[in-house]
Structure 1
C-alpha cells in the first residue's frame, strides 16, 4: 500500500474527528450553561420560598401574640363582669324591697321580647308589626309636625 495514497484519507479522518470533538465540546458547554442556569433559578426559587416561609412564620407569631393579648383582655373582662355580678347580687340581697322586686315575675311584654328572635333589618320589623302596617321612612317626616 502506498502511504501517500492513505494520507488524504487519514487527514480527512483526522479532520472529521476534530470537527466531531468540537461539536461535542460545544454540546457539553451548552448543557453546562443550561444546568448552571437551572441551578441559579432553583437557588432563587429556594430563596424566595424561604422568604415566604419567614413571612408566614412571623405572621403566625404575631397572630399568636394577638391571640394571647385577646385572651388576657377577655380574662380581664370576665373578672370585671364577675365583680359586677357579685356587687349586683350583694346590693339585691341587702335590701328587702329590691330583693322582692327582683324575685317577682317579669311583665308579659318583657317576656315576649326576650322570647322573640332578633330583628335583622326593616323587612323583619315590618313582618312582625301587628296588622301588617308598615312604618314610614325616616325621610318622610311625621304628618303632625309643628
Structure 2
C-alpha cells in the first residue's frame, strides 16, 4: 500500500509538473503570437510605404517625361522662330536695318537686370520699386 501511495504521489507530482510546463508553454505561445502580430503589422506598414513610394516615383517619372516633352517642343518652337526671323532678315534690307539698330537707352535699361541666384531674389528685385525711365523725357536719340 505504501508503494501505491508513493506511486500515487509521484503521479500527482508528475501531473503537477506537466500542468506547470503546459502553462509555461501556453504563455510562450501567446507571447509568440503577440510578436507575430506586431511583426505582421510592421511588414504591412512597410509594404504600404513601399507601394506609396513606388506610386510617387512613377508619378514623378511621368511628370518628368511630360516636362521633357514640353521642353523639346519649346526648343523646337524657338528654333523655328529663329529660322523664320533669319529668313525675314535675309529677304528684306529694311528688316535687317531695323533688326541691327541700337535700342534707345531707356528700353535698353528695361532689358537689363542683375543675375539672380533664386526665384526669391528675382521677386525681391521686382518688388524693389526700380523705376523705369520717364517716357516724356528725351533719351538722347
1:20 Cα deviation after fit: 2.9
Aligned pair 1:120/2:117, yes or no? no
Counterpart in 2 of 1:39?
36
| Cα distance in 2 for residues equivalent to 1:64 and 1:51 | 20
Encode CA deviations 1:5-64: one digit per residue, 9 max, x unaligned: x77666555534432321221011110111022113312321231122122112211221
Higher relative contact order (CA 8 A, sep 6+): 2
- For structure 2, the 5+ residue unaligned runs are 115-121, 133-141
TM-score, normalised with respect to structure 2: 0.71
Task: Name the structure 2 match of 1:15.
Answer: 12
Q: Is structure 2 residue 95 aligned with structure 1 residue 89?
A: no
Match of 2:51 in 1: 54
Number of matched pairs: 123
Runs of 4+ in 1 over 6 A off after TM superposition: none
Q: Judging changes above 3 Å, is the alpha-carbon distance between structure 1 residues 129 and 84 closer, same or farther for their aligned structure 2 residues? A: closer
Structure 2 residue 98 is matched with structure 1 residue 101: yes
Q: Distance in 1 between matches of 2:64 and 2:111?
A: 33
Cα RMSD after superposing both structures: 2.5
Matches of 1:12 and 1:120, distance apart in 2: 99
Once the two structures are superposed, residues 83-133 of structure 1 have per-residue CA deviations (whole angstroms, 9 ceiling, x without a partner) of 011101211222111211211222111222222346422xx10xx459xxx
Larger radius of gyration: 1
